Amino acid sequence: MRRWIAISVVIVIAIFAAFLLRPAPEPEYRGRSLSSWLRQATEPARHSKVLNEARAAIRAIGPAKVVPRLLRLAASRQKQRTLRDWMTELTRRFDVYAGPVFQSNEPQYMAVAGFQALGPDAAEAVPALADMCNEPDRSMVALQCLAAIGPAAKDAICAALTNHDMKVRAMAIWSTPAVVTNKAILFTTITPSVNDSDPSVRAAVIEVVGAQVSIPEKAVPWLTDIVRRADTNDAPLAAMHLQNFGTNGLIAFATLTNAVEEAPYSALAQASLRTLMQMAPDRVLPILTRHLHSIDPFIRSQALMLLIREYPNPTEVVPAVQYAAEDPEEIIATRAERFLERINPGPSADGPAPK
């Protein structure tokens, strides 16, 4: 008898424990689970209607119920990616159409989508996400989630700028504009990282600074100095981003032209010429015309290619291209002739070209 009593007690305790330890029911909104809404929130931005509907539902459920689940999703290990996962990432990252749009089941994507929906309302998650920044399997998603939260995550992202992992440092650079809204402070926060030993981190700094067109007085001299250093990786990128500033970048004109003359048609020279063509095409045309007279056929060929492919006003380059059409190198002369035919086609076999 005692044995049966003991067994009954054990069974009752087990049932009671199972009841207490059972997973909490998943929050719902309008008859759909939070997970369902999170999957919908992974749709690309081009599907704004369904994306906004999902974000509104997530906000309606509320941060108190959503944040703990988002943290669990962010902390989960990424599964082996399928073709469907890669297609989903493509459509989300570049906002392009890539066949039928799939909603992602990837837990970390769902976590990022959830934090993007909640924004500043998810600030309570910052300490936990900051800890994840030091975990290799979770650091990238943690930084994306922190950036989605906004300025409340500033300290956590700024701390990641000196992380031992170069991928984390680079991602922190990209994430900083989301948490540091004052452009001048953003500039002073990230520019020291241009001395980082890793080229991908330096590239991230240059690209973020190159996007700060509202502070040309700080960004343009800084980018110009990077061009002067003539580093093979950094200088061409800095030269390219100077074109973002339009005429405000003209103070870099001398530096860019020096880069062109010192090593014609190196990566830095070509980036400098492209930027000059955007900022002051009338001032770069004489440089390219002079290069068409070079004794080096490579320089003549490169000058012609820039003139016929990238110069903003094709009709202005006709005299220079006419000269190139007489070039002793057949390939140069042929390219020039084909360009002139497109600009001013002659009579066809069916009669004169229409006026």
Q: How far, in Å, are 14, 54, 133, 139, 162 from residue 45 at the CA level?
A: 48, 12, 26, 24, 32
Contacts of 107 (CB under 8 A, 6+ apart): 73, 74, 76, 78, 79
Place of tokens 């800084």: 222
95 neighbors 42 (Cβ within 8 angstroms): no
> What angle (nearest 5°) sits at the alpha carbon of residue 140, between those of residues 134 and 141?
105
Taking the C-alpha atoms of residue 148 and residue 123, their distance in angstroms, rounded to an integer, is 10
pLDDT tens across the length of the chain (355 residues):
555 565 555 554 555 444 444 455 688 888 899 999 999 998 887 778 989 999 999 999 999 999 999 999 999 876 555 545 545 555 555 555 444 556 778 899 999 999 999 999 999 999 999 999 999 889 999 999 999 999 999 999 999 999 999 999 999 999 999 999 999 999 999 999 999 999 999 999 999 999 999 999 999 999 999 999 988 889 999 999 999 999 899 999 999 999 998 888 889 999 999 999 888 888 889 999 999 999 999 999 999 999 998 888 888 999 999 999 999 999 999 999 999 998 875 554 444 433 3
Q: How many CB atoms lie within 10 A of CB 42?
A: 24
- What local confidence, expressed as pLDDT, does residue 95 receive? 53
Taking the C-alpha atoms of residue 222 and residue 13, their distance in angstroms, rounded to an integer, is 70
- What local confidence, expressed as pLDDT, does residue 4 receive? 55
* Backbone φ, ψ for residue 164 (5° rounding): -70, -20
- What local confidence, expressed as pLDDT, does residue 349 receive? 41
* Backbone φ, ψ for residue 306 (5° rounding): -65, -40
Place of tokens 């900051």: 130
Q: How many CB atoms lie within 10 A of CB 297?
A: 13
- What local confidence, expressed as pLDDT, does residue 355 receive? 36
58 neighbors 114 (Cβ within 8 angstroms): yes
DSSP states of 67-118? HHHHHHHHHSPPPPPPHHHHHHHHHHHH----SS------HHHHHHHHHHHH
- What local confidence, expressed as pLDDT, does residue 36 receive? 92
Taking the C-alpha atoms of residue 114 and residue 132, their distance in angstroms, rounded to an integer, is 17
Coil vs helix vs strand at 306: helix
310 neighbors 291 (Cβ within 8 angstroms): no
Taking the C-alpha atoms of residue 323 and residue 333, their distance in angstroms, rounded to an integer, is 9
The residue among 271, 183, 184 whose CA lies nearest residue 233 is: 271
Phi-psi map region of 99: left, alpha, beta (phi>0 left; psi -120 to 50 alpha): left
Taking the C-alpha atoms of residue 11 and residue 157, their distance in angstroms, rounded to an integer, is 50
CA dihedral 333, 334, 335, 338 (to 10 degrees): 120
- What local confidence, expressed as pLDDT, does residue 187 receive? 97
Per-residue burial over 52-76, b = 16 or more CB atoms within 10 Å of its CB, e = otherwise: ebbbebbbebebeebbebbbebbbb
CA 333 from centre of chain? 40
Q: How many CB atoms lie within 10 A of CB 47?
A: 16
